Amino acid sequence: MKFLRCVLIYPCLFILVLTLIFAGFSVHAKAPNGEGVLVYKNGAIYTVNPQQPWAQALVIQDGVIKMVGTNQQAKAFEKGAQVIDLAGKMLMPGFHDVHLHPLESGSNNNHFTLDYLEEDPENYITVIKKAARDFPHEPWLVGYGHDINTFMESERNPVDILDEAVPNRPVIVMEQTSHSMWVNSKAMVLLGFNNTSLSPVGGVILKDEYTGHPNGLLIDNAGEIAMHLAMKSTPQRRQNDYDGMVDDTLPAFAKHGITSIVDARAYWRRGHVDTWLQLEKDSALTVRASVGLWAYPEDIDRTQLKKLASLYRNDPDSLLRINQIKLYSDGIPVNTTAALKGPYAFDMLGLPNNNGLDYFTESRLAHYIKVLEKTGFDFNIHAIGDRGIHQALNAIEKGGSDRGRHRLTHLEIVDPMDIQRFAQLNVTADCQVAGEFTHPSHWPEMAQLIGAKRAQNLVPIKSFSDAGARVTLSSDWSVSPFNPFIGLQNAVTRAPQNLSLQDAIAAYTINSAYVMRQEAVVGSLEVGKEADIVVLNQNLFKVPVIDIEHTQVLQTLLAGEEVYRSEEFEYE
């Protein structure tokens, strides 16, 4: 049985400056015509501003919203301006995706991809052998895409299969969720993993039940440690990451109306920070980006905390900020590593009384929050199981302060007793529903692993919203598509845990702007905010909900500057 699972926000100049420093950042750009004033009229303009939800016209001057109102009010700005007649089309704020993996997902550092639906791992040998021939000089052969369940009924150990394909150099294959790695014997030797090796913090080295030797599957942080070695930063790998962003990923974000993102796992040891800084230096960014620095669970705390603090960057005049910390509280249900309050109904790992694992203990996480929050960091904490979520909330309560804008992400298996705590602690509930596996129709698939009771209410976005929690929606790309219209449609149709369309849009805009500390700058269409906007080919509020996913973006503006326009959107 396949268990689908993802892993893988003034009158006085002095006040204005303080607002930009502490609430967001500013970009000064020109309107699409290169001049100072741009007027949109005759539109269905959805502002995400509860004081003025809808408008007919919008005026942008030097990248900043000057007027939101009626066509009549817009006439005062039309002389000498570029005027765009929307002819009833919908215009709204640009989308935020506050949890994706753009450098990892958009780079071509992988050498091959496996079929996720393949049920016999022996059939992978041909593909891997070809990749070895195609990349003869790579010190590590790196792949992606299998499902760990494929190995559960394999007649041979995974390491033996991979050794047959490539016996003479190390190979590592990331499983589709990113929470396990498949490695060969050469890789194991370089890692120093053998029959006497203990599993590292936050991970498991799976071993043959008879010989005690590692069987080739490295779970969670054991696999992360292997990938860190395989993907050690090199100039070519950094160039591949850079090229993927410029050539493919950033244009795709613009085409889908995404104007703000959070890199939710920046491996600073792999050169990810250097790549982001280079993109900024080259003026290549077409989104506002916050970088979430990965906290390595195997590191010495004092050394790592000092390093993370040194990387903090919060320039209000830059599109790029390095002001978040990403770490895992636990693993994922499909690997039986998400931290549960009781044992798994079915234990894939063969561990006694397995109730998941901890990447960071509650006390250690509280210490990280206490230290790094003072620097200015907000925490983005992967937490999936009810125990992992509970411990992460406890850590925020113990280590955090009123300054923090922390969030827990994924939130699949939530103890109802903890739902109220999100609003009480000002913790944002960041959820991903763009993947079909999160739909209630798939919930029964998890019952064999986590029990029927836990499986009956996964990713409870409505419960969070009803309890007054701030909800954000994100993709976790490449686990799920980053197309926000898929996420919106799924969010409003996944009864009983669904949102209204208004709340779903807020989750993708103003709520996410809050967790990125830029809600005073973008996230809604209001006078004085910067013009991050998208024009759509259909009104989301007028089409059947099952047609929301088919919405196309006609134009995307970042601070008033056009970063995408469809050939179908023509104006003088």
Residue 21 has pLDDT above 70, yes or no: no
pLDDT of residue 36: 85
pLDDT of residue 352: 83
pLDDT of residue 35: 53
Residue 5 has pLDDT above 60, yes or no: no
Using CA atoms, how far apart are residues 343 and 140, in angstroms rounded to an integer? 37
- Average pLDDT in the 19-36 region? 45
**Helix residue spans in 346-413 (DSSP H):** 362-375, 386-399
Q: What percentage of the chain has pLDDT greater than the value 90?
A: 88
Residue 65 has pLDDT above 90, yes or no: yes
Kindly report the average pLDDT of the chain as a whole number. Answer: 93
Amino acid at 516: M
- Average pLDDT in the 70-85 region? 96
Least confident stretch, 20-34, 37-51, 295-309: 20-34
Residue 3 has pLDDT above 70, yes or no: no
pLDDT of residue 217: 97
CA proximity to 227, closest of 182, 189, 268, 165: 182
pLDDT of residue 106: 87
Using CA atoms, how far apart are residues 398 and 535, in angstroms rounded to an integer? 44
pLDDT of residue 316: 86
Amino acid at 137: H
pLDDT of residue 153: 82
Strands 82-85 and 37-41: parallel
pLDDT of residue 15: 32
Residue 572 has pLDDT above 80, yes or no: no
- Average pLDDT in the 495-506 region? 98
CB of 206 closer than 8 Å to CB of 349: yes
% helix, strand, coil for the chain, step of 5: 35, 20, 45
pTM here is 0.92
pLDDT of residue 549: 97
CB of 448 closer than 8 Å to CB of 1: yes
143-187 pLDDT, tens digit per residue, is: 999 999 999 888 999 999 999 999 999 999 999 999 999 999 999
Residue 205 has pLDDT above 70, yes or no: yes
Residue 18 has pLDDT above 70, yes or no: no
210-253 pLDDT, tens digit per residue, is: 999 999 999 999 999 999 999 999 999 999 999 999 999 999 99
pLDDT of residue 6: 35
Residue 11 has pLDDT above 50, yes or no: no
Q: Please report which helix (H) or strand (E) contains residue 16, including its range.
A: helix 13-23
Using CA atoms, how far apart are residues 56 and 54, in angstroms rounded to an integer? 7
pLDDT of residue 27: 45
User: What confidence category does residue 32 fall into, taking pLDDT thresholds of 50, 70 and 90?
Assistant: low
pLDDT of residue 107: 86
What are the chain's domains?
13-94+527-565 (2.30.40.10), 110-230 (3.10.310.70), 293-515 (3.20.20.140)
pLDDT of residue 240: 94
267-322 pLDDT, tens digit per residue, is: 999 999 999 999 999 999 999 999 999 999 999 999 999 999 999 999 988 999 99
Residue 434 has pLDDT above 90, yes or no: yes
